[in-house]
Every structure is written in C-alpha cells, then in structure tokens.
A and B are shown apart, each in its own frame.
Chain A
Amino acid sequence: MATKKKLPKGDPGKGPPAASVPVDVEDAIVDARVALDDGLLEYLSSRLQLLGDKGPLPADFSDGLLISVLKLIAPDGKYAMEKGRFWQILDRYDPFSPWKPGDAIRARLASGIAGLLAAAENESFEDGFDSALSLELQRLVLRYGDTAVEIVSDLIFGNRVAPQVAAEALRCAGEMKNEGTQEARRRLLERALASPSHVTRDGAVIGLSHLRDPRTIPALEAAVAREDYRLLRANMLDLLEQLGGRQQ
C-alpha cells in the first residue's frame, strides 16, 4: 500500500506553488499517481470545488496529471528529456500501435538506422546504463514495430555493424518491454547466436536473458553445442537452466 504523502499547499486561485524541476520524470508520474491514490482527489475537490453530484472519476484526474507531465517532458516540452526515454515511458502508460511504413519511408528508416549504428561506434557503452543508441533504437522499434527490428537484423547480419554496437543493439532488443515486437526481437536474438563474433553472441545471450522466453530453448541448445568460448558457453548453459532447458 502506498504511504501517505503530504499534499501541496497552494494559494487558492493561483494554483499550487511552482514545483521544482523534476529530478526524474518517472518519479513525477509515480508521485502524481500515488498522490492521487492518497487523497489528491479530495484535495482538488476542496480547493477547486470540482465535484458535482457524482464528481469526476479518479481516472480523469489521473489521466489529466499524466498528460500534463508528458507535455512537460515531450521532446519540445519545457523539461524535454531524451527522445528514446520519453517514448519508452509513453509506451508503458499507453502502448503504441506500431506503424507499418511504406517502401519510401522504409528506405529512409533503413538509412537512418544504418547511420545510427555507424555513429554508435564512437559511443562507450556501460552496463546498467541506457546508451544514446539503445534509447533511440527503442523509440524506432516502438514507432515502426517489426520493420525497425528487421532493418537492424539485416544490418547486423550484413556485417555492417561493429560487434560491440551489435551487442548493445541486441541487449536493447531483449530489454524492451513491448509485446507487439516480441516475436521479431526473439527471432533477431536467436539468429545472432550464430554470429561469427563472440562479442555479438554475448550480446544475444544477454538479450535473451532479459527476454526470458522458453521458446528460445532449441536455439540456445544448438548454440551451446557449437560454442567454443568457455565463459560464453557457461552463460548459455546458465540461461538454459533458468528457462528449463536440458543440461548438456
């Protein structure tokens, strides 16, 4: 159960005092929802006298607050945040319906993703932190769905992507929480288990460990059988065990 939060003390007529810039937008969203649960409705009702006979539904306030926050953090908002992170948050609260682009847009998208992956060769990736590449890839996958995943796949398997960049893209593909593209992302990760680069294969295993889909067991078992990198093979076996696959 949520803990009680202090409600803002506002000057009636002027609205609540200006809030400080949110340290993190997710905090702001979560705080807004928690505050609502804990009595914001009563607060707004008493301050603004919004309640009619039946009063507005809590969901109305919740959505209103959410939309206000999202406007602030949108790419052209007052507190604009990185595009990828914004789309990620938006998708979590209001899942996207991916858009199937036509040929011309697909070609432009492919060129854009190729440029993104090439530019990422100069990026340094750190475990436990989002990268510029992963944030932008997530945005593109949310917006263009399987098409974006297919383009990433074509580029990786066309040997046009540096192994460390491919590994980051694969990790990102596994980490995303987006059901609409789950199948395409799983196919990409399984295919990457056969990459000639052990760094790329490692990225695929990390991605699959995030995905946690037992349907990957046959692909993992085949990968274990041909893997000659000791630690990587052990990681594959660990994942197989967690997914309920047979030991080799």
Chain B
Amino acid sequence: MTLVLRLIRQSRWDSPGEYDWLAEGEIPADALADFANTTQNCLSVWFVDDDQGNLDDVVAALAAAREKADKLDYMLFTPDHLKAAGIETRETDGRTPDEQINGRHRGLIHLSAAKVLELTTAVWRQNLGPRRVEERMVVQLVAGAVRNGRILLEKLRPKLRDDVRSCLDANRDEPRKPK
C-alpha cells in the first residue's frame, strides 16, 4: 500500500470554512488548477510509503530538482481515489537528482476532464492534508540527502547549491565548542 503525493499550491486548498455559494456536491474551482494542468492528458505524481517513512526523501528529491530554495506545498491522498475515478498509472522515471526516488514517480495517464474533476473532488473531500514544507526545512532536507549520499551536491543548480552548502557548513560547525 502506498500514498500518492501531488505538488500543489496550498492557497488553492485553503478555505475559511464552508462556502455558502457552493451547491451540494460541488467543490471550489481553484483546487482544480492543481490537477487540471495536464500535459498530453497525463499528470505527474509520486508514490510514498504508507507509513510515510520515505516522505522526507521524496520531498528532498523534488526540492533538489528546483532552481532555488523555496517552500514546497504538496497533497497526500490514498490511491483509492485513483481507482475510484478509473485512472490508470504508468511507471515513468522522475527527473530529480535522486536516482532512487525517481523510481517512485508515476504518470496518471489517459486522463479525461471528467476523470480529473472526479479525482479533484475526491481529494478535496478526503485527503491526508495539504502540507507545506517551509524553505528553511527544504534546505535542511536536501542537505540531509547530500550528506547521506543520495544526492550529489554537484547536481544541484547553483542558487540552491549555495544554500545547501551553507547549511552543510553550518551543521558541520555546530558541534564545535569554543576553546
């Protein structure tokens, strides 16, 4: 059993409570933007262990593929939603600097507009929470992956690499005690 992770923008999933203008069974349209941005009717997701033991590794890999340190918003949900919407998945290699995590990438394929709406509606109603990893934590996670040898520092883009390098240096200096 696995969980499904999709990168989102958290503000699209936020709300002040109930919307009085929504009819029963409807969801706000903003959330749809995170699932409707398909390419060739395909959407990118990542499989995470159901105990979320490799969640930090997946987040680090996704962050390491970026240009700079930034917050990372994601949504976690169960694959039951995919099954219920009749959505097929295909194993396709991800493009992150972490080779091991790249194998956790899946493409949601042959997506119709109806399936996308059904999936978004299901995820809106039942999910493991839209979450945000703030920028500083993102750098620490990537630095951890570099330290463990999962990600090569040289593979990071320069702006992010500078921040990760500073983080590694700071951590290296931390245990030292003044003479």
Q: Which residues of A contact B (CB under 8 A)?
A: 24, 26-27, 30, 127-130, 167, 175, 198-199, 202, 206, 209-210, 228-232, 235, 238-239, 242
Closest 3 CB pairs of A and B: A128-B66, A26-B158, A231-B14
| 0/1 interface trace, chain B 126-138, chain A, CB 8 Å (1 if under) | 0000101011100
Cross-interface CB contact of A232 among B11, B69, B71, B135, cutoff 8 Å: B11
Q: How far is the CA of A198 from the CA of B11 in the complex (A)?
A: 7
Number of A-B contacts (CB under 8 A): 66
Q: Which residues of B contact A127 (CB under 8 A)?
A: 7, 9, 66, 70-73
With both beta carbons as reference points, the residue of chain B lying nearest to A85 in the complex is identified as B159
Which parts of B84-112 form the interface with A (CB within 8 Å)? none
Is the Cβ of A231 less than 8 Å from the Cβ of B13? yes
Cross-interface CB contact of B14 among A26, A175, A229, cutoff 8 Å: A229
Is the Cβ of A128 less than 8 Å from the Cβ of B158? no
Residues A130 and B68 in contact in the complex (CB < 8 Å), given A30-B158, A235-B132, A238-B134:
yes
5 extra A-B contacts, CB within 8 A, seeds A198-B11, A232-B11: A30-B158, A128-B70, A175-B68, A198-B16, A231-B130
Q: How far is the CA of A54 from the CA of B17 in the complex (A)?
A: 73
Cross-interface CB contact of A228 among B9, B10, B16, cutoff 8 Å: B16
A-B contact pairs, 16 of them (CB 8 A): A24-B157, A127-B73, A128-B63, A128-B66, A128-B69, A129-B67, A130-B68, A198-B11, A199-B11, A209-B136, A210-B135, A228-B16, A230-B14, A231-B10, A235-B132, A242-B134
With both beta carbons as reference points, the residue of chain A lying nearest to B63 in the complex is identified as A128
Q: Which residues of B contact A24 (CB under 8 A)?
A: 157-158
Q: Which residues of B contact A232 (CB under 8 A)?
A: 11, 14
Q: How far is the CA of A210 from the CA of B134 in the complex (A)?
A: 9
With both beta carbons as reference points, the residue of chain A lying nearest to B132 in the complex is identified as A235
Distance (Å) between the CB of B36 and the closest chain A CB? Answer: 13
Q: Which residues of B contact A26 (CB under 8 A)?
A: 158-159, 162
With both beta carbons as reference points, the residue of chain B lying nearest to A197 in the complex is identified as B11
Is the Cβ of B66 less than 8 Å from the Cβ of A228? no
Which parts of B114-148 form the interface with A (CB within 8 Å)? 130, 132, 134-136
Distance (Å) between the CB of B59 and the closest chain A CB? Answer: 12
Distance (Å) between the CB of B26 and the closest chain A CB? Answer: 19
Which parts of B52-82 form the interface with A (CB within 8 Å)? 63, 66-73
Is the Cβ of B135 less than 8 Å from the Cβ of A27? no
Is the Cβ of A128 less than 8 Å from the Cβ of B14? no
With both beta carbons as reference points, the residue of chain A lying nearest to B154 in the complex is identified as A27
With both beta carbons as reference points, the residue of chain A lying nearest to B158 in the complex is identified as A26
Of the listed residues B11, B17, B70, B73, the one surrounded by the most CB atoms of chain A closer than 10 A to its CB is B11
